[in-house]
Amino acid sequence: MKNTIAERIYDFLKNFPPFDVLEKEQLFKIASNVKVLYIEKDNFVFKQAGNPHEHFYVVKDGAIGLYRNMDNEQILVDICDEGDIFGLRPLIQNDLYLMSAKANEESVLYAVSVEILKEIIQTNEKVKKFLIASFSSNIKTPYAKGTNGQLFANIEMQTSNTSFTEIRSAEFSKNPVTTLKNSTIKEAAQIMSEKRVGSILIVENRNPIGIITDKDLRQKIATGLFSIDESVTAIMSAPVKTFKPKITVAEAQIAMIKNKITHLCITKDGTNKTELIGVLSEHDIVVMHGNNPSLLIKKVYRAKDVNNLKYIREKTTNLLKGYIEQNIPITFISKIISEINEAITIKAIELSLEEMDKKPPVKFGWLALGSQGRKEQLLMTDQDNALVFEDIPPEKYQSTKQYFLQLAKKVTEKLNVIGFEYCPADMMASNPKWCLSLSEWKNQFDTWIKKPTEDAIMMCTIFFDYDLVYGDKKLVSAMSGSIYESIKSYEIFLNFLGRNALKNPPPIGFFRQFLLENDGANKDYFDLKSRALMPLVDAARLLTLSHQIKGKNNTASRFKKLIKVEPKNQDLYLSCIDSFNILLQFRTSQGLKNNDSGRYVDLNNLSKSEKLKLKGCFKPIRDVQELLNIRYNLAQMM
């Protein structure tokens, strides 16, 4: 007899994460054991400080408010609607409920057995990853020692310290050249010559049983040890080493070294009992390493013209795609891509200097601004840069500035050819406004700080995130020193900078709805940059400036430094780092997917899982903005 209730529950759950990645049998087992609960408005599902239930809950209909008791008052923290999971954290940490769950309206819930879920997690990696990601992005202290990479106290998270380069999936040849075991060596050699390959696989019923390489022909045939009329089985190497299609570069290299071979067979299940689908050679590994970062940077150093640099930057985009697909940590990706971008920029400057009629008249420094200055520019966005040159006598100023403007024009043109578009606002070193002497830059910063108009504050958010790419370090050090001196003499500037940091409210409304653009070309899209990333960037900048912290431009690095300066806010700053990294990786993947900057996101194209992951990043934004609001008395300035 059919269980129609279970079927209805099954049909509902299959549309929401993590149930949408379960095997049919697994999901039906859960659905068959679900308890259906009806909760009247204002009734509690559980209360704060209560013992954990044996179930966690999924909202079928209605809305459940999550409340925290503070100073004898219930504070609404979140609202769960259709498909949302709640009540899972205490089961993960074996702890009491930290919040109360109360029905904001009549609601129907599905109570899911955690014991059944535990069984499924043991065999379903996707569910495990979803729950860990959901857990870590929503608990107050995602890096708390109590979690320590464990789920349900006894289910381990799989972590790896393997080098990012080596855990890429190896790209193998999907059209291996083969022959049957009753073929002669002569016939095999003829096929190899015709196909222009260095190896041939011997198959039986499409399964690989041996391999012959050029080396075998040289050592066993050319030396007269065997006749070319003998069977291929006489000289083939057997048995072959077989692997699954998902073999990584590291696994392939280790297998080749360990077995002293140069070819691996790829079969459907990784054994020699199933059909051959490809072959991976030592040459393939060498080719793959040709797209690794160290080799790309070496190619940058050897580049003779801008077209070479353009080709290398295109290869860098392919590298970025591979890293994102392999889920390499975004912090590592940022470092690698930033190093390549910087090397390309340096080479563009060097090529431009070679084209100039004479050497630079004085010392100078080329500055990367904005996201590139923070080493967070992963996609091919527009260029933001500036130039500072040494102070010179007034009579030499005009000719000196003209030299550097001409140099800057050559550099920005090359960067544009490479793929970094011109800045729409012309914030580039080729603009006379941003090609200045050291004294002029000091005066400019001093004016922005002591006369903080709206435009001046906007300029500070761009120009304070600079990084020396090429040139004299002392010039840039003097610039940084002048900024801190000006702030020290006019500390109210930090309050204005704080007000600007709160310009964008938390990216989600009271009822958990994303705040979308109301008008313009991106109407009804979510602005990931302005709404989510920039509030964290702005907060990190303001806080490091207030502590006179120098040499930290990267957002994550700034928060890490702030933890040392303000240990009491460690949990908040760790959460900010976590959220920023997730958001940056999300923007990068969206940009690669849609071939754009990844800034504006169509929420209709996101899965429920992706939306939940984004929402999990928003709480630290709200919390750090509240910290700024209190610390700088910003409510009085609004």
- Nearest residue to 235 via CA among 262, 212, 214, 218: 212
Whether residue 588 is found in the same domain as residue 603: yes
Residue 130: per-residue pLDDT: 61
Write down how long the chain is.
Answer: 638
Residue 116 contacts by C-beta under 8 Å, 6 or more apart in sequence? Answer: 29, 30, 33
* Contact between 11 and 19 (Cβ < 8 Å): no
Residue span of the structural domain in which 226 resides: 178-289
- What average pLDDT values come out for the chain (638 residues) when binned by 10 residues? 78 85 88 93 92 90 83 71 81 73 92 83 68 45 36 37 50 88 94 90 93 91 92 93 83 73 90 91 66 74 89 87 79 86 94 95 95 88 93 95 97 95 94 96 94 90 91 92 90 89 73 72 87 93 91 91 94 92 92 88 84 84 91 68
Residue 491: per-residue pLDDT: 85
Residue 298: per-residue pLDDT: 75
Whether residue 466 is found in the same domain as residue 567: no
Whether residue 128 is found in the same domain as residue 228: no
The amino acid occupying position 373 is: G
State both tokens at 146: 């109590």
* Contact between 446 and 402 (Cβ < 8 Å): no
Measured torsion, CA atoms of residues 605, 328, 120, 608, in degrees rounded to the nearest 10:
-20
Whether residue 101 is found in the same domain as residue 211: no
Do the domain assignments include residue 172? no
Do the domain assignments include residue 573? yes
Q: Which helix (H) or strand (E) holds 65?
A: strand 64-70
CATH number of the domain within which 263 lies = 3.10.580.10
DSSP state for residue 569 in the 8-state scheme: G
Residue 229: per-residue pLDDT: 93
Single out the residue in 489, 509, 542 at which a domain terminates.
489
Split into its structural domains, the chain has a count of: 4
Whether residue 268 is found in the same domain as residue 236: yes
Single out the residue in 436, 462, 489 at which a domain terminates.
489
Do the domain assignments include residue 335? yes
CATH number of the domain within which 309 lies = 3.30.460.10
Whether residue 458 is found in the same domain as residue 540: no
Residue 68: per-residue pLDDT: 79
Whether residue 367 is found in the same domain as residue 444: yes
State both tokens at 513: 């709805």
Instruction: Count the Cβ atoms, other than its own, within 10 Å of residue 261.
Output: 16
CATH number of the domain within which 109 lies = 2.60.120.10
Do the domain assignments include residue 173? no
Do the domain assignments include residue 315? yes
Whole-model pTM over 0.75: no
Residue with tokens 């990931």: 528
Do the domain assignments include residue 415? yes
Task: Give CA separation, 394 vs 157, 387, 399, 415, 499, in Å.
Answer: 65, 18, 10, 31, 39
**Strand partners for 200:** 212
Whether residue 72 is found in the same domain as residue 219: no
Residue 286: per-residue pLDDT: 59
Do the domain assignments include residue 419? yes
Do the domain assignments include residue 166? no
Whether residue 282 is found in the same domain as residue 192: yes
Single out the residue in 489, 512, 537 at which a domain terminates.
489
Whether residue 206 is found in the same domain as residue 132: no
Whether residue 482 is found in the same domain as residue 512: no
The end-to-end CA distance of the chain, in Å, is 66
Whether residue 347 is found in the same domain as residue 331: yes
- Nearest residue to 118 via CA among 92, 97, 84: 92
* Contact between 420 and 375 (Cβ < 8 Å): no
DSSP 467-484: EEEEE-HHHHHHHHHHHH
Q: Cα(301)–Cα(347) distance, rounded to whole angstroms?
A: 7
* Contact between 420 and 380 (Cβ < 8 Å): yes
